[in-house]
A and B are shown apart, each in its own frame.
Chain A
């Protein structure tokens, strides 16, 4: 019955969405804004209509806009960073469709690191959002010269690296699995390669990146802390182009071009590392025969059927391969596919329908004769999203839709040959569906007040088949119940209010505040500090309740010097329920009773984030500073007292500077500093069977040494005007060779067993890199 009730509520919410439109005597202006050379649609372009008053809007994720104007003459100004502004006079006396093509500004003598309208950060009601422009990534120095959006993101306040060189990140005290990472709407479950040192996102293939660290709009859900929305390039609609790069550890190539000129295009981009290439030079065959590399492939095609319909098909495939001497093989990776259909029901109602597939799996094989085995594990999503954007009138933009996501998790399946001592074991698959409906309204209340408010009704259903267990407080099984296929085991329903509002103090400053509730039904089991390919996801169940977070934030936004400088200060407080840890000694491998070993507790995080950015000029960049505290509380840990979470870092500073020295040379540098992680060091030791064992008293009451690092890079552009454009990137990671602690371990002194010592492991000293990029 509960199931039916939840469905009913979900449907009610949808019905509520079909509000009849208000009376109108205005005309609608709509259209799509594109790059004039590639035909690529442009996201977030500012359109201003200057008539009796100045009004405006911006394009959505598909380059589409719709706006209502009363009849009359207007000066239209279309502006987008990196493009020449279009100024045009238009007369409105009927519904009008505009086709706007913007010319890229090639004689750019400055680097621009914001694609938003100049004072959008102040005016927009949305808070806790950051956009990354791909030109930023191009210039920021990175490890091994591999451009990486996830690492550039970590330079923003409120977003912290999960570890040295790690593409995992913590947002406002949340853990890495509380970030929803979407690639063309498909959730990516393990967004890293080579055990975390590289992200799965090849910058060549990416068009736009937005990150929400608070105030999540209602169309997003399913994770507590943040949404990272990554959109791939559509491909050049006008002509064929190729670009790529050759670096120390990887090379990449991208091809794009029209399928039918101006109607459809494709993009295909690939990357392959050769970290193991050096091994082949060894004369030792046991070294030579090892492999360690990853590759990935992004592909996208789109076709505009007519004015009202466009379809997109995009996909990602990436794989890491590790092999040791033909005795051991390990490979893992993500596959995603997205089929999208943009449809205009009317000039005011934009619809996007997406059918999404995502799969993460790993396979481990041991080829040793008597112990041979093969382990495989996977998580798979089948997702349908229906999103409507309705320009109700000039002060209301309504967005509503449905999100149905069916998950299948196969935690572990072990197979072996008959001669092996290993038995075949299968941990039962788990199936569950997340069904959510949402509605939100972007409302211009008056000249001063803007708000985005909405509601997301989210439900989760765990289905059979399978045996489901109950446990006592010690983790012993107390009952087992068998369910058949399709039986409902457990369901949860939550209403998630989302509201974000801004109050304009004057043309260059505003106050904003937001409140959001998020819930999460997929939980990552990992107690290590680094992301691992064998990370295991579990769903909410009869033993595991959904995680819930409530966040309030308040911010002050100000632009200075004619929007040349952007400043913001945000404070936040986040309360989290249903946080998960597991007991010491828990073994996740092939374990059907993982839920028995879980501990549940609460979390809280609060902090202030300051951000100052110089947006244009020969020298630009930003400074971000975060002062924060993150804690967790579990009955069985630290005597039930609050303790600092591993995400806690009191001070966190990032400095990014980019200097365009001449037409061909660009220099950039980043500096990061953060308080060492909260960790547990031994408070004593004892002897057990003549072996030293360490005693830990309070959880996370110690600190790793402070982390800081300076990186530098220089880019030399080739001479302009040639058909083949090329550039060289030189980089130095960790310029002053700081020995940052990756971990500190404790052990007996190997030279004097009567003593114990602390040993610091440093991953990366100073690392130079060089990359050659080309385009034709």
Chain B
């Protein structure tokens, strides 16, 4: 039994994620896990688009791929030959050129908070479009660590402190790296702490943090649809709760494409655990 999975819901309860108490009882009832072979059917490949525009002057990227069968090795099944453009609110068309299989890159530019961007992808003769509005930036005031202990298992988790702007709906996304290795991405919203000094504990299921480790955190502000998309993924992933009926998260693309287009702001902070 995976201890973190057991207690993750409790930890998240500190962020009002109180619905997920289930695995506590599973622990007490000594459940067991086993890897099994299943005969899974293979669905027709579907296009997946992951588009990003940040508020930093840099090359922006769009990744286009197709789904692969469950039994294959995890890999990015890049899609070649798509036509990719982003339109700014003032009508400027930005082209993205394919730099490697499925990876499309723009010239260096930055998005402006408050503006709505439209991404268009022409692939297999079908046009896929999505829009995203870049939120206003909110940066971290500081990053610290929290030691949380349940049933004798204790771990250290990074915690981001910031002041949430009052009166607006904000959504946050964190990307956590430890010694340059990606650990998790996780989303939060301010529904229960609008306008307050907030501390978001980044609970993750990966390498434990040790003294001397370099912790990189990218804090993003994301629009509502993007938040719902990532929140749905975390819900389907079980999130430590009872089994839910899985479904694809609602994408902001039309025409049945999977994936998400996000215009976001970012600030990064790096810290070493003493």
A residues at B contact (CB < 8 Å) = 194-195, 197, 275-276, 282, 284, 286-287, 290, 292, 322, 324-325, 328, 330, 364, 366, 368, 370-371, 373, 375, 414, 421-423, 425, 527-530, 532-534, 581, 583-585, 587-590, 637, 646, 679-702, 739, 741-746, 748-749, 753-765
Shortest CB distance A27–B (Å): 61
Whether the pair A528, B241 counts as a contact (CB closer than 8 A) is: yes
With contacts A684-B69, A686-B77 taken as known, whether A422 is within 8 angstroms of B185 at the C-beta atoms is no
Q: Give the distance in Å from the alpha carbon of A624 to the alpha carbon of B26 in the complex.
A: 30
Identify B21's interface contact among A195, A689, A755, A762, CB under 8 A.
A195
A101 to chain B, nearest CB (A): 46
Which residues from chain A contact B229 at a C-beta distance below 8 Å?
Answer: 585
- B10 and A371 within 8 A (CB): no
Partner of B34, one of A282, A364, A739: A739
- Which residue of chain B has its CB nearest to the CB of A285? B152
With a cutoff of 8 Å between Cβ atoms, the chain B residues found around residue A284 in the complex are 151-152
Residues of chain B with a CB closer than 8 A to A530's CB: 22, 242-243
Check A760 against B34 for contact (C-beta < 8 Å): yes
| Segment with Cβ contacts to A, from B39-47, B81-89, B93-101, B114-122 | B39-47
Measured between C-beta atoms, what is the minimum distance from B249 to chain A in Å? 6
| A364 proximity list for chain B (CB < 8 A) | 13, 18
Q: Check A695–B233 contact: CB distance below 8 A.
A: no
Given A371-B15, A532-B242, A590-B191, A682 contacting B70 (CB threshold 8 A): yes
| Chain A residue at minimal CB-CB distance from B231 | A585
Which residue of chain A has the shortest Cβ distance to B21 in the bound complex?
A330
Report whether B244 and A527 are in contact in the complex, using a CB–CB cutoff of 8 Å: yes
Known: A584-B236, A697-B43, A748-B74. A292 touches B246 (CB 8 A): no
Task: Kindly list chain A residues whose C-beta atoms are within 8 Å of the C-beta of B124.
Answer: none
Q: Which residues of A contact B73 (CB under 8 A)?
A: 754-755
A197–B30 Cα distance when bound, in Å, is 14
CA distance in complex: A184, B194 (Å): 45
Q: How many whole Å from B190's CB to the nearest CB in chain A?
A: 9
Question: Are A756 and B74 in touch, CB under 8 angstroms?
Answer: yes
Is A756 within 8 A of B33, CB to CB?
A: no
A-B contact pairs, 26 of them (CB 8 A): A194-B25, A286-B149, A368-B14, A371-B15, A421-B198, A423-B196, A532-B22, A585-B231, A585-B232, A585-B250, A590-B192, A682-B40, A684-B45, A686-B48, A686-B258, A687-B76, A695-B46, A695-B248, A696-B248, A697-B43, A700-B245, A743-B242, A745-B243, A746-B70, A759-B35, A760-B34
Smallest CB separation, A280 vs chain B (Å): 13
Q: Which residues of A contact B17 (CB under 8 A)?
A: 589
Q: Is B155 an interface residue (CB 8 A)?
A: no
Q: Quote the shortest CB–CB distance from A365 to chain B (angstroms).
A: 10
Q: Is the pair B25, A685 in contact by a Cβ cutoff of 8 Å?
A: no
Q: Which residues 12-38 in B have Cβ within 8 Å of A in the complex? A: 13-19, 21-22, 24-26, 28-38
Would B228 and A585 count as touching, CB distance under 8 A? yes
Cα–Cα, bound, A292→B151 (Å): 13
Q: Which residues of chain B have C-beta atoms less than 8 A from A324's C-beta?
A: 10, 24, 150
> Given A195-B22, A585-B228, A744-B36, A756–B70 Cβ distance below 8 Å?
yes
Decide if B50 touches A688 in the complex (CB within 8 Å). Answer: yes
A585–B25 CB distance below 8 A? no
Chain B at the A interface: SS class: loop
Report whether B42 and A683 are in contact in the complex, using a CB–CB cutoff of 8 Å: yes
Please give the distance in Å from B229's CB to the nearest CB on chain A. Answer: 7
Interfacial chain A residues near B40, Cβ < 8 Å = 681-683, 702, 758
CB-CB nearest in chain A for B260:
A688
Residue B57 at the A interface, CB < 8 A? no
Q: Determine whether the beta carbon of A532 is less than 8 Å from that of B19.
A: yes
Given A534-B19, A585-B232, 15 other A-B residues pairs in contact with their CB atoms under 8 A: A286-B154, A370-B199, A423-B194, A530-B242, A584-B247, A589-B16, A680-B245, A682-B70, A683-B43, A686-B258, A688-B260, A690-B182, A698-B43, A760-B36, A761-B33
- B residues contacting A by CB (< 8 A) are 10, 13-19, 21-22, 24-26, 28-38, 40-46, 48, 50, 65-70, 73-77, 149-152, 154, 175, 182, 185, 191-199, 228-229, 231-233, 235-236, 238, 241-250, 258-260
Q: Which residues of B contact A742 (CB under 8 A)?
A: 31, 243
Alpha-carbon distance between A693 and B65 when the two chains are bound, in angstroms: 12
Nearest CB of B to A333, in Å: 15
| Shortest distance from the beta carbon of A389 to any chain B beta carbon, whole Å | 43
A370 / chain B contacts, CB cutoff of 8 Å: 199
6 nearest CB pairs, A to B: A683-B43, A585-B232, A684-B67, A697-B43, A743-B243, A530-B242
Is the pair A534, B18 in contact by a Cβ cutoff of 8 Å? yes
CB distance from B40 to the nearest CB of A (A): 5
Per the bound structure, the CA–CA distance linking A35 and B238 in Å amounts to: 53
The reply to whether A745 and B238 form a contact with Cβ atoms under 8 Å apart is yes
Partner of A422, one of B10, B16, B232, B242: B16
Instruction: Determine whether the beta carbon of B32 is less than 8 Å from that of A765.
Output: yes
The CA-CA distance from A286 to B14 in the complex, in Å, is: 17
Distance between Cα atoms of A421 and B41 in the complex (Å): 47
Do B246 and A680 have beta carbons less than 8 Å apart?
yes
Q: How far is the CB of B209 from chain A (nearest CB, A)?
A: 18
Distance in angstroms between the alpha carbons of A750 and B244 in the assembled complex: 22
When the two chains form their complex, are residues B24 and A322 in contact, meaning their CB atoms are under 8 A apart? yes
Q: Contact between B242 and A753 (Cβ–Cβ < 8 Å)?
A: no
Q: Is the CB of A762 within 8 A of B67?
A: no
Q: Point out the residue from B44, B192, B233 that lies within 8 Å of A693, measured CB to CB.
A: B233
Q: How far is the CB of B97 from chain A (nearest CB, A)?
A: 21
- In the bound complex, how far is the Cα of B10 from the Cα of A322, in angstroms? 11
Q: How far does the alpha carbon of A687 sit from the alpha carbon of B259 in the complex, in Å?
A: 10
Across the interface, B246 reaches (CB within 8 A) one of A195, A286, A694, A757, namely A694
B43 touches A695 (CB 8 A): yes
A290 to B, closest residue via Cβ: B151
- CB of B246 within 8 A of CB of A696, answer yes
Q: Does A195 contact B258, Cβ atoms closer than 8 Å?
A: no
Q: Which residues of B are found within 8 Å of A697, using beta-carbon distances?
A: 43-44
User: Chain B contacts of A692 at CB under 8 A?
Assistant: 74
Q: How far is the CA of A425 from the CA of B189 in the complex (A)?
A: 14
Give the complex CA separation of A343 and B104 in angstroms: 82
B38 pairs with A758, CB closer than 8 A: yes
Complex Cα spacing A757 to B73, Å? 10
**Nearest Cβ in chain A — how far from B95, in angstroms?**
23
- The residue on B at minimum CB distance from A284 is B152
Cβ–Cβ < 8 Å partners of B150 in chain A? 286, 324-325
Find the residue from A637, A695, A742 having the highest chain B CB count within 10 A. A695
Q: Specify which of B21, B50, B150, B233 lies most central, judged by the most chain A CB atoms within 10 Å of its CB.
A: B21
State whether A762 touches B35 (Cβ < 8 A). no
Residues of A within 8 A of B250 (CB): 583-585
Contacts of A325 in B (CB 8 A): 149-150
B247 touches A696 (CB 8 A): yes
The reply to whether B26 and A763 form a contact with Cβ atoms under 8 Å apart is yes
A375 to B21, CA, bound (A): 14
